Structure 1
Amino acid sequence: MSDPSDDASHIEKLYEFGERLNESKDKSQNVKDYQGIIDAAKTSIKAKQLAAQLIPRFFKFFPDLSGPAIDTHLDLIEEEELGVRVQAIRGLPLFCKDTPEHIAKIVDILVQLLAAEEFVERDAVHKALMALLRQDVKASLTALFKHIGSVDEPSTDEFIREKVLSFIRDKVFPIKGELLKPQEEMERHITDLIKKSLEDVTGAEFRMFMDFLKSLSIFGEKAPPERMKELIGIIEGQADLDAQFNVSDADHIDRLISCLYMALPFVVRGASSSKFLNYLNKHIIPVFEKLPEERKLDLLKALAEISPYTTPQDSRQILPSIVQLLKKYMPRRKTGEEMNFTYVECLLYTFHHLAQKVPNATNSLCGYKIVTGQPSDRLGEDFSEQYKDLTERLTSVEELTRATMKKLTQGMAEHNKAMAAAKSDEAKGSIKTQKQNTTTGLRTCNNILAMTKPLHVKTPTFIGDKSINLSWKEATKPAVSSSNTVGYERSA
C-alpha cells in the first residue's frame, strides 16, 4: 500500500506539470513536464487516474514521446482498478484529435475492449468509439470493418468480430444520418466496406447489411438504375449463381430462395432478374420434384411475384418450363389425388405474366393461334394436341376448384357457428386461425378460376396487369385522392 504522503506528492507534481503545460505558449519546449506525467503514471492509483487525463491532453505536442506515452496509457487500461481503466479509456480519442494517423491503432485497442465485463467500462468504450467516428468517420469505419473481416483478410477472433458487428448494428447504423457526412461520399465508403465484408457472413448478417444498404440515400427511391444493378449484383453473389447446383445441398437451396426474395424489391424498381431466372430455369426447375417440400412453395411464390417484371427475352426462355410444371400439377382427369391449389395458383399467375409478354410463344406450347406477325408465330404447324391437353386440364382444375370452394364455404359457416359457441380465448384463437386459412383457400380458388377462364379460347387474352391479387398477399389498398402508404460462407 502506498504512503499517503507519497500519493499527495505525486498528485501535486502532476498538477504542477499540467499547469506549466497549460500556461506555456510553446508547449513542445516542456518535454520534462510531459515526461514527468508519463513517469507519474507508474505511481499511485490517484496519480494514475490524473495521468490518464493529462497524457492524451498534451500528446500532440510531443511526437518524440508518442511511443512511451501510448505504451504507458495502454498500461493504465490494463490496471486492476476500474476507475483508472475507465479514465484511460475515456482519454483514448484525444490521441487522435490532432494526430489522425493514430486512429486505426486506437480503434484496434478499443475494439479489444468491447468484451469488457463491467458495464461502466463497456459504456466508456462505446462512447470513445463514437467520439472517434465523429472525429474521422472514414478512418474509424475502415478500422472497425477490418475486425469483421473478408475472404482476403479473415477475422482472427470470432468473439471480437461478433462484438464489432453488434456495435455497428446497435450504435452506428441507427445514427447514419448524423455520422455519414459528406453524405454521398461516406455512404459510398461504408457500402464498399460492407461489400468486402459480405464475402464471408452468415445469413442473418447478410440480411442485416442488406437492410442497412437499402436505407441509404444513394440507394433510395431516386437512385439511378446502376445502383439497383449494384444491389442485385451483391445478392446474386450471395446466391452463388455461378456454382453448379446440387439438389442435396440444403444450405444452397435455402440461400438461393432467401436471396431471390431479397432481390424482389430491387427487381420491382427496375433491376434485372435475368441471372436468377436463367439459373432457376437451368438448374432448379428441372429437379423441382427433388426439392424439399416447403421450398417448392417458396420457390413458386417467388417466381409468381417476380414474373410481372421479367423481360420478353427471359419470359420466352422460362415459359416452356412453367408450362411443363403446370401440366404436372394440373391433373388431366380426376385421379383421386389431391391437387395443390397454391402451386396451381402460382404457376397460372406466372404463366399469364410471362405469356402476356411473348404471346406467340404459347402457340407451340399450348396450341393457341396468336398472330403477332413475327416468324416465331408458327401458325402453319399443328399443335392441336397441346391445345386439347391444356383445355382438358383446365376443365379438370375448374371442377376440382369449384368442389373445394363448396367445401370451404360450408366450412366457413361451421367456423362462424363454432366461434359464436366458443368460450375460451384459446378456442376462439384456434377458430380464428381456421377462418383465416379458409379465407386464404377461397381466395386461392377464386384466383384459379379467374385465371383459367380466359385460357379456354384459341386466342386468349393473358392477364398481365394487377387485377389478380395473389392469395398470400395483402389486398392492395386504393390510393387516397389528393382532395380528400443474402454470406453465407459462414454457417448461420
Structure 2
Amino acid sequence: MATANADAAEVERLYELGDRLSSAKDKSQHAADYEAIIASVKGQNVKAKQLAAQLIPRYFRSFPALGTFAMEAMFDLVEMEELAIRIQAIRGFPLLGKDAEFISKIADILGQLLTSGTAFLLSFLSSNVKCGYASQVLSCISEENVERDAVHKALMSLIRQDVKNSLQPLFKHVESGSEIREKIICFLRDKVFPVKAELLKPQAEMERYITDLIKKSVQDVTGLEFKLFMDFLRSLSIFGDTAPRESFQELIEIIQAQADLDAQFDVSDIDHIERWTSCIYMALPIFTVWPIQLNNN
C-alpha cells in the first residue's frame, strides 16, 4: 500500500512539474523542474517513466543546456522492458530531432530499434513455444507490430525534418554490413523510396546525395539488394531517359564494379556467374536508352 501511494505521489509530482513548465512564460527559469523530470527516469515507477517520456520531448527545446542529459534519459527509456514506456519514448524522438545536432544520433538509434522487437520475439519463441503458450506468442507478435510501426513513423517524421542527416546513419549501417542492415534496407524499400518525390527536394541536389549514399552501400550487397538499389537509381530524374550521357555512364560503372570484371572468371564459382549474369541483364536496358562504350581501363 505504501509503495502504491508513493508511486501515485511521484506521478502527481511530475504532473505538477509539467503544469508549471506549461504555464511558465519564461521556461528557462524552471530548469530545476525539467531536471527533476529527467531524473525520474532513473526511478522504479513505471507510470512516472511513461509520463517522463512525454514531458522530456515536450519541453526539450526550452533547455538546450540540458539537451545531452535529456537525450541520454530518452535512450534509457527505449531500453525499458515495458512496451508502453518504449512506445512513448519512440514517439517523442522526432521532437528532440528538431535540434539538428541530435538528428543523426536519433536516426541511428531508431534504426537499431527496427530489430529490437524481432530479437525479443525470437528469444521468447525459443524458450516458450514448446510449452504451448499460444496466447503469449500472439501477444508478442502484436507488441512487435506496435513497436515496429512506432519506429517507422518516428523515423519518417525525422527524415521529413532533415533528409540528409537522417538518411546518412541509416545507409552507414548498410555500407558497414552491420547486423541490422537487412531491416534498414527493408525500411528504405517500403517507406522511403516510395515517397522520394516528397523527400528529395531540391530534386537535383538530393537525388545526387542519395545516389552517393547508395554507391557506397552497394559494395557488399546481395543480388536482390543490388537490383533494388539500381531500380531506385533508374527511377531518379538524374538518370532518366533524357539525362546526359555521363549519367548513364555512371550507372554502367556501378554495375561494372558489382560484376567484378577484373576478377579471374571461374566457371565453378556459381555466385560469381550469377552476379555477372544479373549485372548484364541490368545493364542492357541502359544501353537501349543511350549507347555507351564500356570503360576498358
TM-score (norm 2): 0.85
| Structure 1 CA distance for aligned equivalents of residues 291 and 248 of structure 2 | 5
- The equivalent of 2:14 in structure 1 is 14
Counterpart amino acid of residue 237 in structure 1? A
**Matched letter for residue 230 of structure 2:** M
Cα gap change, 1:70/1:251 in structure 2, threshold over 3 Å: closer, same or farther?
Answer: same
Is 2:126 aligned against 1:125?
no
8 A Cα contact 1:114 1:122, kept in partner: yes
- The residue correspondences of 1:83-122 to structure 2 (distance < 5 A) are 83-97=84-98, 99-115=99-115, 116-117=117-118, 118-122=144-148
Match of 1:203 among 223, 240, 260: 223
Contact persistence 2:252–2:294 (CA under 8 A): no
Change (3 A) 1:2 1:234: farther
Map 1:373-392 to 2 at 5 A: none
Match of 1:31 in 2: 31
Cα displacement (A) at 1:5: 2.5
1:135 aligns to 2:161 (yes or no): yes
Instruction: Give the 3-state SS of the residue equivalent to 1:198 in structure 2.
Output: helix
Indicate if the aligned counterparts of 2:91 and 2:154 stay in contact, CA closer than 8 A.
yes
The answer for the alignment partner of 1:148 in structure 2 is 174
Are the aligned partners of 2:215 and 2:254 in contact in 1 as well (CA < 8 Å)?
A: yes
The AA in structure 1 aligned to 2:224 is: A
Q: Is the 8 A contact 1:103 1:139 kept in 2?
A: yes
Alpha-carbon displacement from aligned partner over 1:432-476 (angstroms, at most 9, x marks no partner): xxxxxxxxxxxxxxxxxxxxxxxxxxxxxxxxxxxxxxxxxxxxx
1:39-50 counterparts in 2 under 5 A? 39-41=39-41, 42-50=43-51
Alpha-carbon shift at residue 62 of structure 1 (Å): 2.0
Quote the offset at 1:2 in angstroms.
7.0
Change (3 A) 1:242 1:2: farther
Gaps of 5+ in 1: 280-492
Corresponding residue of 1:452: none
Q: Which amino acid aligns with 1:20?
A: R
Report the alpha carbon displacement of residue 33 of structure 1 after superposing the two structures with TM: 0.8
Aligned partners of 2:108 and 2:170 also within 8 Å: yes
Q: Is the 8 A contact 1:55 1:69 kept in 2?
A: yes
Q: What is the DSSP-based 3-state SS (H/G/I as helix, E as strand, rest coil) of the residue aligned with 1:209?
A: helix
The aligned counterpart of 2:83 is: 82
TM superposition shift of 1:251: 2.7
For 1:65 and 1:10, the matched residues in 2 are separated by 22
Distance change >3 Å, CA 2–CA 45, structure 1 → 2: farther
Which whole-Å CA distance do the structure 1 matches of 2:259 and 2:77 have between them?
47
Residues 104 and 143 of structure 1 are in contact (CA less than 8 Å); yes or no, is this contact kept in structure 2?
A: yes
Choose 1 or 2 for highest CA Rg. 1
What is the root-mean-square deviation of aligned Cα atoms in Å? 1.9
Shift of 1:136: 0.4
| Deviation of 1:43 (Å) | 4.5
- One-letter amino acid matched to 1:61: S
Match of 1:241 among 254, 261, 282: 261
Which deviates the most, 62-71 or 49-58?
A: 62-71
**Amino acid in the other structure paired with 1:52:** A
What is the CA distance between 1:259 and its match in structure 2?
A: 1.1
Match of 1:300? none
Supply the AA of the counterpart residue of 1:134.
R
**Is this contact kept in 2: 1:2–1:44, CA < 8 A?**
no
Q: Structure 1, residues 186-208: CA drift from partner, whole Å, max 9, x if none?
A: 11111100000111111111111
In the alignment, the residues of structure 1 paired with residue 291 and residue 7 of structure 2 have an alpha-carbon distance, to the nearest angstrom, of: 69
Does the C-alpha gap of structure 1 residues 264 and 100 become closer, same or farther in structure 2, counting only changes over 3 Å? Answer: same
Q: Percent identity?
A: 61
Q: Is the 8 A contact 1:11 1:47 kept in 2?
A: yes
- Give the counterpart of 1:269 among 279, 284, 289: 289
Question: Is it true that 1:218 corresponds to 2:244 in the alignment?
Answer: no
* Partner SS state of residue 148, structure 1: helix
- Residue 274 of structure 1, CA deviation: 3.6
User: 1:165 deviation in Å?
Assistant: 0.9
Whichever residue aligns with residue 145 of structure 1, its letter is: F
In the TM superposition, residue 273 of structure 1 has moved relative to its aligned partner by 4.1
Residue type matched to 1:4 in 2?
A
CA distance in 2, matches of 1:45, 1:243: 58
Match runs of 1:43-442 below 5 Å: 43-97=44-98, 99-115=99-115, 116-117=117-118, 118-149=144-175, 154-155=176-177, 157-158=178-179, 160-275=180-295
The structure carrying a bigger helix percent of its residues is 2
CA distance in 1, matches of 2:233, 2:167: 15
Q: Would you say the 8 A contact 2:159–2:167 is kept in 1?
A: yes
- What amino acid is the match of 2:97? C
**Aligned partners of 2:230 and 2:87: how far apart in 1?**
35
Q: Distance in 1 between matches of 2:264 and 2:2?
A: 70
